[in-house]
Amino acid sequence: MYHAKNIKVKNQAPKSNVIYTPDQLAGQIANLVGKHSVVFDPAVGGGALIKPMRVMGLCHHVIGIDINKHAEGFRFCNETGVCDFTKLEYWPFKMPDIVIMNPPFNGAESRQLYPELFLRKCFEFFGYDIPVVMATPVGFRSNLRSFTSKRLEFLRDCNITSIMTVPATIYPSACIQTEILFFNLPKLPPHMVVDLTDFQQAA
């Protein structure tokens, strides 16, 4: 999940500050990434992203971290931690084979966006070759204000192998256009569009 706290649209009431990944989208992501022994979600929330990995038998071990000690997603995890992942000083769990996350968007203490802080921490602990799937507002990748932006320099070091386009209506409670970024998963197509059939069948 990600938080959209204090974000407003002109002439509209503020949107919900907790945005969960729809089950249909989470299922599509699970099918795309396939089997991995150890899966890690650093913002586990309700567990939407890791539940299909469990249900489909695509992983053997799940690690989940969340700032909420009552996070529902912990029930899908073998190991859990209650903390702000971006402030974790050392890694106390098994090393993951893949990170799948929908981190908070805003609310970071610095001018950096939370997706950037989460991604940096993942690469710090697991190296730049770790496969990562991250749901994030498109502004993380495209809203760069200068050629000297630290985020631009950071993105140069990241190996974004695929991008999934997601229509805004998939997150009806959000006011932010979202996309799914895939890092270090070269077997996937470079550009994908979410399959809306699953959403139409659930409607």
Q: What are the backbone angles phi and psi of residue 121, rounded to the nearest 5°?
A: -65, -40
Binned at pLDDT 50, 70 and 90, residue 14 comes out as very low
Question: How far is Cα 94 from Cα 114, in angstroms, rounded to an integer?
Answer: 24
Which position has the higher pLDDT, 174 or 50?
A: 50
Which position has the higher pLDDT, 153 or 135?
A: 135
Binned at pLDDT 50, 70 and 90, residue 3 comes out as very low
Least confident of 3-12, 87-96, 123-132: 3-12
pTM of the predicted model as reported, rounded to 2 decimal places: 0.87
Q: Which domains does the chain have, with CATH numbers?
A: 23-186 (3.40.50.150)
Binned at pLDDT 50, 70 and 90, residue 17 comes out as very low
Binned at pLDDT 50, 70 and 90, residue 16 comes out as very low
What the block records as the tokens of 78 is 């073998």
User: Nearest CA to 159 among 194, 185, 188, 192?
Assistant: 185
Which position has the higher pLDDT, 134 or 150?
A: 134
Burial class (CB in 10 A: 0-12, 13-18, 19+), 72: middle
For residue 123, pLDDT beyond 70: yes
Least confident of 45-49, 75-79, 103-107: 103-107
Q: What are the backbone angles phi and psi of residue 51, rounded to the nearest 5°?
A: -55, -50
Which position has the higher pLDDT, 145 or 176?
A: 176
User: Which region, left, alpha or beta, applies to residue 159 given φ > 0 means left and ψ of -120 to 50 means alpha?
Assistant: beta
Q: Best-predicted range by mean pLDDT among 1-5, 17-21, 141-145?
A: 141-145
The residue ranges of DSSP E strands in 24-108, in sequence order, are 38-41, 61-66, 79-82, 98-101
Q: What is the pLDDT of residue 13?
A: 44
Q: What is the pLDDT of residue 97?
A: 98
Q: What are the backbone angles phi and psi of residue 19, rounded to the nearest 5°?
A: -115, 110
> Which residues make Cβ contacts (< 8 Å) with residue 161, sequence separation at least 6?
182, 183, 184, 185, 186, 188, 190
- At 191, which helix (H) or strand (E)? strand 191-193
